[in-house]
Structure 1
Amino acid sequence: MSGTLRRGAAVLAVAATALAVLPAAASADDLGPLVGPKQYFTGSVAGLASSGAANSGAVIGVNCAAAASTGSPIAGQSVEVKLLLPPVAANVGYTGTAATSIEANLIWSNGEVVFITPLATFKQYSVPLPIPTNVKVPCSGTGEVSFDPEPASGAVSYVVPVKFESIGVAG
């Protein structure tokens, strides 16, 4: 291979490497703004926000054995927070005067005991985070995901009702 051909191949290799890195750099720029004080927000579970109704349509799929009453959330499900710019409608979250993060907590009851399971902590908006698959949730029934600003000085939480649905045991 001649010197010119080698240099040309090297330039093409460098250009190909730069192009391969470009989407990663662009996606870092696409991250949402940081969570901070005096911001309005909503939360979503599996892409669905609360409609204010008892059942928002948000479903958490659960891996459950035939006779089990609890199981683990299936992989690939997420929670997310979105920044809203004023003016805003009623029934939204508010970070208050000091919040720098928003915690997503899953709340459900077996009739006697209330369970509160941390799912995610958000430092930025518009960045979906996975629902952990190593927590226990009911195989059926309802609960809610509460998006709670921290610290909570004057903050208002945003709640999304959820329904648990067993998909059986994933293989």
Structure 2
Amino acid sequence: MSWKLSARLLPLAAAVVLAGASAPAFADVVDPAPIGPNQYFSGLVNGQSTSAIIRMACFGPVRPGQTGHPMAGQTAGVRPAPSSSTSGVGYTGSAATAIGVAFRNASSATPPIVLRYYGVAAEIPTTLTLPCYGSGVVEFLPTPSSPTAHPATVTVNFVGQP
């Protein structure tokens, strides 16, 4: 192969190698799909289904029992799950067409987020009042509920900002 030809093919070869290396990163991408009955699902907080962190707008020394508001730019969402074999997986039951996201530690019991599609995250409202630090649980509740439905859960850690 001539020097000129190999110099022209080098960028193409590099692009192929980079595309191949990044392919596994897209394996978990879910196209938006409607939530429906009889489906297993996992909840996500900031893209994590376990040990998620919610950054809180609590600055400086934090007192025990202090509450604050989540910082902007954080999300909650759901993705399909293959089965209930994993801890925290929910099931939509016979009637659900949406999933409500409830923050157990919030000052309001009303789910502030309702998700209607897998793969479409919603922003966590900065108006929620949550603990400045510690742990909690976010529940993903099939809506409307049915006798066969059960929620998915994600354990979260509230972290005040320095």
Scaled by the length of structure 1, what TM-score is found?
A: 0.68
1:75 corresponds to: 72
CA distance in 1, matches of 2:140, 2:84: 17
Alignment of 1:9-24 (within 5 A): none
1:128 corresponds to: 121
RMSD, aligned CA: 2.1
- Does the alignment pair 1:150 with 2:143? yes
- Does the alignment pair 1:89 with 2:68? no
Q: Which runs of 5+ in 2 are unaligned?
A: 1-29
Is the Cα–Cα contact under 8 Å of residues 107 and 117 in structure 1 kept in the other structure? no
Among 152, 155, 162, the alignment partner of 1:161 is 155
CA distance in 1, matches of 2:59, 2:84: 44
Supply the AA of the counterpart residue of 1:40.
Y
Shift >3 Å, 4+ stretches: 65-68, 114-117
CA distance in 2, matches of 1:63, 1:90: 32
CA distance in 1, matches of 2:111, 2:56: 17
Supply the AA of the counterpart residue of 1:61.
R
Q: Among all aligned residue pairs of Structure 1 and Structure 2, give the percentage whose two residues are the same amino acid.
A: 38
Scaled by the length of structure 2, what TM-score is found?
A: 0.71
Greater strand fraction, Structure 1 or Structure 2: 1
Is the Cα–Cα contact under 8 Å of residues 45 and 154 in structure 2 kept in the other structure? yes
Alpha-carbon shift at residue 166 of structure 1 (Å) = 0.4
Supply the AA of the counterpart residue of 1:76.
G
Q: Which runs of 5+ in 1 are unaligned?
A: 1-29, 51-55
Distance 1:65 1:88, change over 3 A: closer
What is the number of equivalent residue pairs in this alignment? 128
